[in-house]
Amino acid sequence: MEELMTFREQYMKGELPFDAIFDYTDEWNYGGADCTLREYLGLTPEEEDVWVSESDEALETLLEKEKNRKIIFLDLDGTLLNDEKQFTPGNRKAVKQALRAGHQIVITTGRPLFSALAQAEDLGLTGKGCYIIAYNGGEIYDTSKKESLYKKTLPLPYIRHIFDAAKEMGLHCQTYSDTEILTEADTDALQFYMETTRTHSRIVPDVIAALEKEPVKMIVIDIHDHEKLVRFRTATENWCHGKMDRVFSSPSYLEHVAPGISKGNAVRILCEHLDISMENTIAAGDAENDISMIQAAAIGAAMANAEPAVKEAADYITKRTNNEDGVSEIIGKFMLGD
């Protein structure tokens, strides 16, 4: 039997006027419901507190604000960051304006959590209600509570197999602890990755022995020959089937995560946790690993500098690139009504 929607759910969808709350309250009073009035109506504790301590009007104002609240999921490299790996002044200003207007911004990246956290701190996205999606959706992190809401890891034998397969084909492979990159060789690819993401690494003789727990992600890199990575993905496809998913976050980076992990899946998980309708979601990116969240969001935006497949999946393509405040264009158009 299909569960009936609460007053709040229907109000948020625009299916009921606010005054319908009084009909629902009467139903609860005389219907003998086996739950509290707050639960019956579907209100959050904060909303109930406003209603009880202030007024009907105050609750209506709060619910209306919640109904209009949007959440935007922003990729970092090639999207929110310019080619120099910096936040442009225009993007910084737009992020602050969106936050002041009551909207939410979630950094959604393939980068490890410790790297994403540094970027979130730089943008001031670490207070109450701020979240990060890292490792291409493998981990969702609450920055204010400093705890993970969701995390899915890869078994250590799988890590060993891909490291060995990459080495055999002359490719760099790395994974991550909570604080640094772990790899078994110092390569040009590693140095390039550290320079562009401003991260640190530790070279170890055996990455499995060095890992204290299962990692969320590993990555195979070739900064010179994309086709070599394509051949690697093809050569390992049969073994990887059902064990892990792979996606390019750039022509040089082939990401490896647990089955079912994607930015799009993480967007849906976080919205359910926050009780935000998918109708109020926006996502922006530029690379293959961004396609799932662009398709999941109500408004999926591709940067002007995005790969052709990303633009094809998008509802909107920016006129400006990541070097020209492209994210501010999205925030202005879809969140601030500019």
> What pLDDT, in 10s, does the model give residues 264-311?
999 999 999 987 888 899 999 999 999 999 999 999 999 999 999 999
Percent of the chain with pLDDT over 70: 99
pLDDT in tens, 253-264: 999 999 999 999
Q: What is the pLDDT of residue 333?
A: 95
**What global pTM score does this model have?**
0.85
Mean pLDDT score, 158-164:
98
H or E stretch covering 236: none
Of the given ranges (8-12, 109-113, 175-179, 289-293), which has the lowest mean pLDDT? 8-12
Mean pLDDT score, 214-242:
97
Task: Give the chain's mean pLDDT.
Answer: 94
Q: Which amino acid is at 289?
A: N
150 — pLDDT class (breaks 50, 70, 90): very high
Q: What is the largest CA-CA distance in the chain?
A: 73
Residue with tokens 């909207």: 103
Other CB atoms within 10 Å distance of the CB of residue 282: 25
Of the given ranges (3-17, 88-102, 220-234), which has the lowest mean pLDDT? 3-17
Spell out the residues 6+ positions from residue 168 whose beta carbon is closer than 8 angstroms to its own: none
Percent of the chain with pLDDT over 90: 86
Q: How far apart are CA 179 and CA 176, in angstroms?
A: 7
Q: What is the pLDDT of residue 338?
A: 67
Q: What is the pLDDT of residue 2?
A: 47
Residue among 82, 74, 79 at smallest CA distance from 103 = 74
Q: What is the pLDDT of residue 156?
A: 98
Using the predicted structure, report yes or no on whether residue 1 has a pLDDT greater than 50: no
Mean pLDDT score, 177-187:
96
Copy the structure tokens of residue 255. 């990401």
CA 41-43-47 angle, 5° bins: 135
Q: What is the pLDDT of residue 3?
A: 62
66 — pLDDT class (breaks 50, 70, 90): confident
Phi–psi pair at 133, nearest 5 degrees: -105, 115
Q: How far apart are CA 276 and CA 255, in angstroms?
A: 29
**119 Cα distance to chain centroid:** 14
Using the predicted structure, report yes or no on whether residue 144 has a pLDDT greater than 70: yes
Q: Are strands 245-250 and 218-221 parallel, antiparallel or unpaired?
A: unpaired
Domains of the chain: 20-30+37-66 (no CATH), 69-152+262-334 (3.40.50.1000), 156-257 (3.30.1240.10)
Instruction: Classify 129 in phi/psi space as left (phi over 0), alpha (psi -120 to 50) or beta.
Output: left
249 — pLDDT class (breaks 50, 70, 90): very high
Q: What is the pLDDT of residue 335?
A: 93
Spell out the residues 6+ positions from residue 173 whose beta carbon is closer than 8 angstroms to its own: 162, 163, 166, 167, 183, 184, 218, 219, 220, 221
- Could you give the residue numbers annotated as active site? 75
Mean pLDDT score, 191-214:
95
